[in-house]
Amino acid sequence: MCKGHMANRNVTEFVLLGLMRNPEMQKVMFAMFLATYIVTIMSNMLVVITIASSHTLVSPMYFFLAFLSLIDAFYPSSMVPKMLVDLLLEKKTISFNACMTQLFLEHFLGTCEIILLIVMAFDRYVAICRPLHYMTIMNHRLCCCLVGLAWTVGFLHSLVQVFTIVWLPFCGPNVINHFMCDIIPLIQLACTDTFLTGLLVIANSGLISMISFFVLMLSYVIILCSLKNYSSAGRRKALSPYSSHITVVILFFAPCIFMYLRPVTTFSIDKTVTVFYTLVTPMLNPLIYTVRNEDVKNAMRKLWLRKVISDYK
């Protein structure tokens, strides 16, 4: 059995089994995922550009929404391009270093989104429970610090994940039953006892997701209780961004908890769940946040109108 970190050099690349083996279905999946990926990038960047260019979307809520959309544009970009290329190849390989890079980016951006969703819940709590002090509390400096906190926590979390894998001995086999590098399939390839490593993964990813989810649910309960004193019109206005936020939280956290809060094992549904939270959820987020938000829709109309007028001139 291999010993020490030098054993990692015995495996210089991994072979990915991909989503499926059927060549014809792979072509169909390529077209579907490419279209979904393009829509994801364009819709999220549209939200970012709309908020950045609008003179009306200046509240902290939209500041955080712009960063969420930016993450949702980058997050699938860390995995989907490689997956698309592999759908057209018979042999799907990824170097050890590229695999670690993909793992780092996946957990870095995913954790950033978790912290940002908590920050957005805090923003809604202040807006609803402390409306008179909202702009004083959620000042620009605090907003920037909270976004910086999301990036910092994401960076530290992903470093732990990568170092957890880098120091494992990989002596072979090197075949990953997945279309991407993720921590659980990689742990299963290590030629050593990975029980403690599995516990670390559960603590570092699974428990973080679960605790964050419960914190968010608790904040929603507190917000709902505080809305009892609002008028029906005020309650509807307050619940509009709130309902969008809770939908995004459920779509994001449910797959994460399923994937990481469990023993180190794999299921046949794992690939489908991964596709959902890495590609489908980032595509749905802009729609969820804008379809019921008249301010964002009006700002998008004005942006489009300025573009048309500019092109006409």
pLDDT in tens, the chain (313 residues): 444 444 444 788 899 988 877 888 888 999 999 999 999 999 999 999 989 888 888 889 899 999 999 999 999 999 999 999 999 888 899 999 999 999 999 999 999 999 999 999 899 888 888 888 898 999 999 999 999 999 999 999 999 889 888 888 888 788 998 899 988 889 888 888 888 888 888 887 888 888 889 888 888 888 778 777 766 766 666 666 667 778 888 888 888 888 888 877 778 888 888 888 888 889 988 888 777 677 787 887 777 776 656 655 5
Q: Residue 14: enclosing H or E segment and its boundaries?
A: strand 13-16
Q: What domains can be seen in the chain, in order of their start residue?
A: 9-312 (1.20.1070.10)
Q: Quick one: pLDDT at residue 5?
A: 45
Residue 236: both structure tokens together: 């509807």
CA distances (Å), origin 75, targets 19, 180, 245, 291: 19, 13, 18, 22
pTM of the model: 0.86
Which of 70, 67, 68, 75 is closest to 102 using CA atoms? 75
How much is the CA Rg of the chain, to the nearest whole Å? 21
What is the number of H-type helices and E-type strands within the chain? 13, 3
| Residues in the chain, total | 313
d(CA 205, CA 6): 26
CA atoms within 13 A on the CB side of 185: 23
Close Cβ partners of 65 (under 8 Å, ≥ 6 residues apart): 47, 51, 120, 289
Looking only at the bridges linking them, the beta strands covering 175-176 and 93-95 are unpaired
